Amino acid sequence: MHLASVVLDPASVVAPVSRRTFGSFVEHMGRCVYTGIYEPDHPSADEDGFRTDVLALTRELGVTVVRYPGGNFVSGYRWEDGIGPRDRRPRRRDLAWHSVETNQVGIDEFARWAAKADVEIMYAVNLGTRGVQEALDVHEYVNHPEGTTLSELRRANGAAKPYGIRMWCLGNEMDGPWQTGHKTAHEYGLLAASTARALRSAEPGLELVVCGSSSSAMPTFGTWEATVLEHAYDLVDYVSCHAYYEEMDGDLGSFLASAVDMDHFVDSIVATADSVGARLRSKKKINLSFDEWNVWYLSRFQGQEPPESWDVAPRVIEDEYNVADAVVVGNLLISLLRHSDRVTAACQAQLVNVIAPIRTEPGGPAWRQTIFHPFAKTAALARGDVLRTRLTSPTYGTAKYGEVPVVDAIATHDAETGEVVVFAVNRDQNDPVELTVDLHLFAEALHLAEADTLTDADLAATNTRESPDRVVLRPNDRVTVEGDTLKAVLPRVSWTAIRLRPAGADR
């Protein structure tokens, strides 16, 4: 059995836990919207046509913010197609996903769904085929109180009060040649700056997200961010990051260490942004919005030929996730928390059906994929401050990242309740790890409140319509607290959450 150890210090704080870390993403892509969140003929549908079973799972997942309506979709989207009487809304080709968009769900419907799900909207504007004026128009429609043509149109469409959307994404993945309206960094930087300046004139307090690299593997990675930020640094608040991971060619060891790449991605963008800020002599710090991340078997999708037909809500990238995928997702959440001083918003892509924690069948059930569980548990337990972890762990060799720690971990501490939560992964494919956590720096003695682990003897096990609870979190009975020492046995290829409470707190 491997041995690893962590020392925790309540005074060694990274940053407060940002609730926006637990964001999701709804794009008009595949079955995310239609037969995902919206299916008016479904037995569970409410008066607005939304699936209440999906709403319940969204709330259980702990989602706090949802990026909408794209994604690649937004770069060809005309927002005004999705407002007004449904029988007058145009049907359009969606070039991004080779499908037909019916526009039966638009911003008004999505805002109603978001209110029911109790989530904040992060809205993306089209800077692919459109520009400054269209961004101002949709802002006027959703956020201006009343008295103008577009605000009165919103009121006539049933929303008397503005939606108050605070976070605005200035386009999507504009560094990608696949993007409709793809631009160079210089072209996009000028457009993003102009759009940001105009939106701030309309509403100074908006939080604006400029497009960063859609992947750290892009040939323009780093130089793209530097060029764009030189144009827009003092006009925006965030630069976006996107990253997807998959097991390639049976290399499970590298896949399990995917968070090493996420750590490098974040650190690189922070260094680039701070360098630009220093050159501009700006006192401002740009934060990161990691507004697309997940496990995605992209290589399978890229090998497919586009369909000959143009269909409504086709089945697109409905990946079925296994145990190893869930462990990686749990580890990516650890990475995001570790960078809470700069990553203050993040969106797992996507919410339903499309590379998603929630799956549905038209007219049928909704169920939790394996990756649902670490996300939901982390969103539920991570409170207060993120603590720096002084981790000692054995290592193993990987083809992609060299030597990496067998164990990765992070902890949070809620000063108000005294609770401490430890999130840990064991990346070893063969052996368990005994993790020792030194708690002696905490003023109050801590007792074990709960400990849950996600693992399985079959790392390829999945949750399906027929077996929706094949893989779930299960209590870990090999976790103990004696004095100021926590000891936990982490099974091979596993993700574990351990919650500790002060001795006097109610159990």
Hey, what are 383's tokens?
Answer: 């409170």
Closest CA to 220 of 260, 258, 272: 272
The answer to whether the peptide bond before residue 133 is cis (omega within 30 degrees of 0) is no
60 labelled catalytic: no
Residue 114 and residue 66: Cα distance in Å, rounded? 8
Q: What are phi and psi of 187, to 5 degrees?
A: -60, -45
Q: Which of 120, 140, 292, 419 is catalytic?
A: 292
Inter-CA distances, 461 with 244, 324, 336, Å: 21, 9, 26
Closest CA to 140 of 171, 170, 163: 163
The answer to whether the peptide bond before residue 71 is cis (omega within 30 degrees of 0) is yes
Q: What is the dihedral of CA 432, 400, 184, 222, to 10 degrees?
A: 80
State the sign of the Cα–Cα–Cα–Cα dihedral 269, 411, 460, 363.
negative
Q: How far apart are the first and last CA of the chain?
A: 32
Hey, what are 401's tokens?
Answer: 């990242």
Hey, what are 374's tokens?
Answer: 């670490």
Q: Which of 120, 140, 173, 225 is catalytic?
A: 173
- Which residues, in sequence order, are CB contacts of 458 under 8 Å at separation 6+? 323
101 labelled catalytic: no
Hey, what are 41's tokens?
Answer: 């003929």
Residue 467 and residue 52: Cα distance in Å, rounded? 21
Residues with a known catalytic role: 173, 292
